[in-house]
Amino acid sequence: MSADPTDEVLKLDDEEHREALIAFCRLPAEAVAQITEAMGAMNLSFSDAAVHVGLVTEREAAEADAWVRATIARRNSKVIETALHRQTAARSVTVGHTVVGKPSSRLLSAYDMNNPHSEQIRALRTELLLLIETTRQASCLAILSPGSGEGRSQLAAELAISFSQLGRRALLVDADLRNPTQHLLFGAQVQWGLAQSLAYGEPPHLIGVQDLPFLTVLPSGPQVPNPLELISGGRFENLIRQSYQNYDFIVIDTPAVSQFADALTIAAMAGRVLLMSRAQTTSYKDMKAMLHRLGPTQTRILGAVISTF
């Protein structure tokens, strides 16, 4: 007798739930054995058993569930359409991409989810999700660091990728109008980006990303002579607020805090920031100065990351 295809999907689903929970929560072998024993004794799925014995929170289980659903969706175009409809049913505007880019090989999270670096990004994502309040509004987060060359743009890109891999729409905004990088990381460039949108009040051109259907990149666009004035004007805040209608997560890349005031304006608007420094490069003095300058913005600092890449 042939097996029911639905049963095969459910088996795959539960197996990937198991692997996702083990990876996300870093469950040791002893914990896995305890959960497996509870599964047999109570006839529960691995996910439900993990929550029941208290080794996994309901939120972590939900995150793993979202990741599994997104993974299955990427394998089947019909499921992608269904997932897009489900995840964006509450969004009033369809996102249109001017061009489609491809993630650089530097963005390991897009290519190799088993790489230790990708696991670190997922662990950071989980910690951020636990810190961000659950609301109907999109979660907006700006990435800040004191100087240049500290990995700020790469972290912003990989976090946006990681959020999108949950099957939730993510927008990556390159608000570094001084030295933009995101168009290079995604191999696509537009002539009408964030800078031009702010200058002329017209919608920007957006970049879609190959094999990442839930990710959109808003590039900086060609450089302009008055970046701080554009960022400080009301159009930037309005653009981000309007993006709340279409996205669940918004990650903003910023210029170096020690060199420009742009990032402080962005931090005040975003309301939440993740600080970054580079091992053996960023000085304690520079980090302290950045924290001092952030004080008046009254933004919420979610944490700090030390980069080694």
pLDDT band at 150 (very low <50, low <70, confident <90, very high): very high
Check whether residue 232 and residue 154 sit in a common domain.
yes
* Strands across the sheet containing 139-144: 99-101, 207-209, 215-218, 170-174, 249-253, 139-144, 272-278, 300-307
pLDDT band per the 50, 70, 90 thresholds, residue 134: low
Mean residue pLDDT across the chain: 83
Q: 3-state class of 99 per DSSP?
A: strand
The answer to whether residue 199 scores a pLDDT higher than 90 is yes
Percent of the chain residues past pLDDT 70, beyond the cut: 80
How far apart CA 118 and CA 105 sit, in angstroms, is: 13
Q: What is the pLDDT of residues 65-117, one digit of tens each?
A: 766 665 554 444 333 333 334 444 444 445 667 789 999 999 999 999 889 99
Q: Looking at 87, 116, 142, which one is the last position of a domain?
A: 87
Range of the domain at 240: 99-307
Distance of CA 165 to the CA centre of its chain: 8
Whether residue 118 sits in one domain with residue 82:
no
- Joined together, the tokens standing for residue 214 give 């839930």
At residue 263, the pLDDT reads 96
Q: Is the same domain home to 104 and 78?
A: no
Question: Judging by beta carbons within 10 Å of its beta carbon (0-12, 13-18, 19+), is residue 94 exposed, middle or buried?
Answer: exposed
- Residue 69 φ/ψ, nearest 5 degrees: -60, -40
Helical residues (DSSP H) of the chain, grouped into ranges: 5-25, 29-42, 46-52, 58-75, 77-87, 116-131, 152-164, 182-185, 194-200, 227-232, 234-243, 262-270, 284-294
Domain boundary among the residues 40, 56, 87 is at 87
Q: Is 279 contained in some domain?
A: yes
128, two tokens: 């951020």
Q: Which two tokens stand for residue 11?
A: 């088996």
Residues 83 and 103 in one domain: no
Please report which confidence band the pLDDT of residue 256 belongs to, taking 50, 70 and 90 as the band edges.
very high
Which tokens go with 138? 């999109």
In the chain, the number of structural domains is 2
For residues 221 and 228, the answer to whether their CB atoms sit within 8 Å is no
Structure-block tokens of residue 107: 């963005």
CATH code, domain carrying 172: 3.40.50.300
Query: What is d(CA 82, CA 58) in angstroms, rounded to the nearest whole number?
Result: 25
- pTM beyond 0.75: no
Is residue 289 in a domain?
Answer: yes
* pLDDT tens, position by position, 1-34: 333 333 333 344 556 567 667 766 767 778 888 8
Domain co-membership, 150 together with 225: yes
Arithmetic mean of pLDDT, 145-174: 95
Q: Classify residue 67: in a domain, yes or no.
A: yes
230, part of any domain: yes
Say if 32 falls within a structural domain. yes
Give the residues across from 207 on adjacent strands: 99, 217
